[in-house]
Structure 1
């Protein structure tokens, strides 16, 4: 996106990968922080796709997942340490089902929160920080529920320009399966206040 803004043209896949390769040994340490920062203003699936384009599917998945976890920690602690009671009430009122589910079972709610389509991950992170959820529960739920989606978006980015590649087909299939599973979870009300 930055390259498009600066040059006015879309760089080739090869040029983007050259940039990723140019980061060298710093990439595993720098990119997750960049990912977390970018994802504040750009939806994380786009950041994950860019990560796949830059670093390929294998390394990209690890880096994007690390970025997702960094962002979860930062948002959790901001909510827990900085947010006042007014903000706490406001967020919990805007997301009562998520909040109630987090209070009941933080690990399971964090897991479901990564699968249900259309549920912003940042909202889950902030709601977890405003509730009694332990950071460990949020991170484990994020790893278990988020890894398949992160892999899928990274694989799509890594397959940019050739969506007929096997990893792109697997990624698209996985996203469809996760969306359907997430809809079943939402439909059955597993995030509702009535769920056991």
Structure 2
């Protein structure tokens, strides 16, 4: 094995180790309850919204669960302001993830994939806005994975950013409304929030499945 191959293998092993370490830290050291996170965010007083947006922006770099942070935003700021702050932070965080993937994954981005992966890459590159929007509508799909996949598939930055901004609105409201409902303590509001969450989570999945079936029938 020559030196160049050894260096590449070492880089990949180092990258895998770094990702594993970050995931372990996010699941153990940084594991927090949504209500505890709400209390900590509100401790910043008038700067709480700014701090929340900053945390959400850098969240992808430490793999902190977006759902927990979104619920904490609803607990801290209510359904409407929580949704607004989360949309700003999540969009900035997605853009940061996209940039990081573009910067550190240049070899993957330049590479032309083959087989089914090549078809996906080609479709994502040509119809990036549509695909990112479709996946963003489904809040159960890993938020950061979509950002990295879009970067590797060479989706245009403007298409990615706009699709992200639009696509995260329903899911973001669902998580924030769910979080804010717990503050009221009203069982009816909590049940309504749970119902809204289920609808905004399940409907996009149904739409996506029907679209996939239609695409298969057209082939």
What TM bracket, shorter-length normalisation?
0.7 to 0.9
Contact 1:99 1:127 in 2 (8 A): no
Residue 212 of structure 2 is matched in structure 1 by 189
Query: Which structure has the bigger radius of gyration?
Result: 2
- Whether 1:32 aligns to 2:32 is no
Closer/same/farther in 2, CA of residues 89 and 156 from structure 1, 3 Å limit = farther
Coordinate RMSD, CA, aligned: 3.8
Listed as ranges, the gaps of 5+ residues in structure 1 are: none
Residue 151 of structure 2 is matched in structure 1 by 129
Taking structure 1 as the reference length, the TM-score comes to 0.74
- Whether 1:114 aligns to 2:136 is yes
**Is the helix fraction higher in 1 or 2?**
2
Please show how residues 1-196 of structure 1 align to structure 2 within 5 Å: 19-39=40-60, 40-86=62-108, 99-116=121-138, 118-160=140-182, 162=185, 164-166=187-189, 169-170=192-193, 172-189=195-212
Contact 1:80 1:130 in 2 (8 A): yes
Post-superposition shift, 1:164? 3.0
Alignment coverage as a number of residue pairs: 189
Post-superposition shift, 1:136? 1.8
Closer/same/farther in 2, CA of residues 151 and 83 from structure 1, 3 Å limit = same
Post-superposition shift, 1:22? 3.4
Deviations 1:137-157 (A, max 9, x none): 112111221111001101111
Taking structure 2 as the reference length, the TM-score comes to 0.67
Contact 1:155 1:168 in 2 (8 A): no
Post-superposition shift, 1:87? 7.3
Listed as ranges, the gaps of 5+ residues in structure 2 are: 1-28
Post-superposition shift, 1:32? 1.3
Post-superposition shift, 1:59? 1.7
